[in-house]
Amino acid sequence: MAFWHKSKNFLYGYAMLTGTIIGVGIFSLPFITVRIGFPIVLAYFLLLGAVVAVIHIFWGEVQTKTKGHHRLSGMAKIYLGNSWSKLALISNIGGLFGAIVAYLVVGSEFLYTLLDHYLGGGQASYAIIYCFLGAMLVWLGAKAIARLEVAGIFALILVLILILVKAIGHLDFNNLAISADNGRNLFLPYGAVLFSLWGASALPEVRDILGRNKKQLRLVIVCSIISAVAVYFVFIALVVGLTGAKTTESALSGLNEIFGAEMGALLLMLGIITTFTSHVSLSLALKRVLIYDVKMAGLTAWFLAAILPVGFYFVGLNDFIKIISFVGAIMLAVDGIVIILMYNKAVPSKKRPAKIIATVLIMALLAGIVYEGWQPAGPAGVSHASKL
């Protein structure tokens, strides 16, 4: 019974963390691969996969060492003081806002591609519809959203299965050798890959599931990241193998020509379900952060979390690759630095290699922040991530 209990807890923790990691970032990866080349994307995943695994293990260690239940901001206050706590809160809110807008951009694009032929109207109209529906669910609360989360997971699985089945006979893996960039944007994948691998927000819940079993927590982290990378590579190979140089920024929109209208419509519907469930879940999470950490009134928090993102969309924050690159390279990097500093405080170590690793990771994350922040935007809000 004890073995079954541990195994069941491991599977629950693994499913939660893997489900958190695999999100909207998956839809950016085929486009980035076509622009920069598969070998470079592979190198980024191997390198950043190791970096993210170490940071997540550090965060897990801090969680198991600390009594009570604390999110990043609360934990930073315990170990680093008020200033770091405020910085962690800002990066948390900024990261949630960015991810919500990213889901809005991709989901509304899927909705527009699916319905434009029948209803007409620009993509902005579908962004309003998408946001309005999400806002209603956030207003209804967690129970209404929880039912959708399961549907979102199954929808993503169905997307992968359908593409795999229909791809047989159409795949051309020579497309993986395509690179439209010629080395001009070597750092293009950095923010998007970091965004795609991050799942630190789920670790407090995973720790609750596993108790304070450090070995199991480490194993869950490593297995979840490896599983996510495997799913990403399958998705990249399938989409790029099918669409090649015609791969779109959101991946699914470019498959209509290959699969035909009916199958393309089904994929888009599943893509809408996948993005919409995560969109409303993140909106609810942001609402709770604003209520409990910032002490906002419920109505104000709901408006900012569920309605304001469409405002960002209309002022020009609608470049999918740019958004997730910014969130990954800056907001999540700040979270990573805070986690590493907390680890050094919570788990003092006399072993020099551990300190060297922590220092190297902080310097690397800082370099990414400086690089991403330094890059100028191009015409019409096009960033270095899409000036190709």
Q: pLDDT per residue over 118-149, tens digit each?
A: 777 778 889 999 999 889 888 876 555 555 65
pLDDT of residue 388: 32
Q: How far apart are CA 52 and CA 191, in angstroms?
A: 12
pLDDT of residue 214: 76
Contacts 24+ apart (CB under 8 A), 315-319: 316/380, 316/381, 317/101, 317/381, 318/101, 318/105, 318/127, 318/381, 319/105, 319/381, 319/382, 319/383, 319/385, 319/386
Query: How would you class 213 by CB atoms within 10 Å of its CB: exposed for 0-12, middle for 13-18, buried for 19 or more?
Result: middle
Mean pLDDT score of the chain, rounded to an integer?
A: 81
Helix, strand, coil percentages (3-state) for the chain, rounded to 5, are 80, 0, 20
Q: What is the pTM of this model?
A: 0.83
Q: Which residues of 266-285 are buried (b: 16+ CB within 10 A; e: fewer)?
A: bbbbbbbbbbbbbbbbbbbb
Q: How far apart are CA 101 and CA 286, in angstroms?
A: 12
Pick the range with the lowest mean pLDDT from 148-162, 180-194, 216-230: 148-162
And the tokens for 330?
């800056």
pLDDT of residue 4: 47
pLDDT of residue 387: 32
Q: How far apart are CA 201 and CA 338, in angstroms?
A: 13
pLDDT of residue 196: 92
pLDDT over 80 (residue 103)? yes
**CA 217 to chain CA mean position, Å:** 21
pLDDT of residue 150: 61
What residues contact 49, with CB distance under 8 A and at least 6 apart?
A: 197, 225, 226, 229
Between CA 88 and CA 331, with CA 288 as vertex, the angle to 5 degrees is 30
pLDDT bucket at 379, cuts 50 / 70 / 90: very low
Q: How far apart are CA 168 and CA 262, in angstroms?
A: 17
For the segment 217-221, the average pLDDT, to the nearest whole number, is 91
Cβ atoms 125, 108 nearer than 8 A: no
Domain boundaries, the chain: 2-381
3-state class of 256 per DSSP?
helix
Greater model confidence, 377 or 270: 270
Cβ atoms 29, 41 nearer than 8 A: yes
**CA 351 to chain CA mean position, Å:** 33
Q: How far apart are CA 4 and CA 104, in angstroms?
A: 40
Greater model confidence, 344 or 150: 344
pLDDT bucket at 237, cuts 50 / 70 / 90: confident
What residues contact 359, with CB distance under 8 A and at least 6 apart?
A: none
Of residues 231, 241, 275, 262, the one with CA closest to residue 109: 275
pLDDT over 80 (residue 333)? yes
And the tokens for 326?
């910014």
And the tokens for 189?
């994948």
Radius of gyration of the chain (CA): 20
And the tokens for 248?
């779109």
pLDDT over 70 (residue 238)? yes
Q: For domain 2-381, give the fold.
A: Amino acid/polyamine transporter I (1.20.1740)
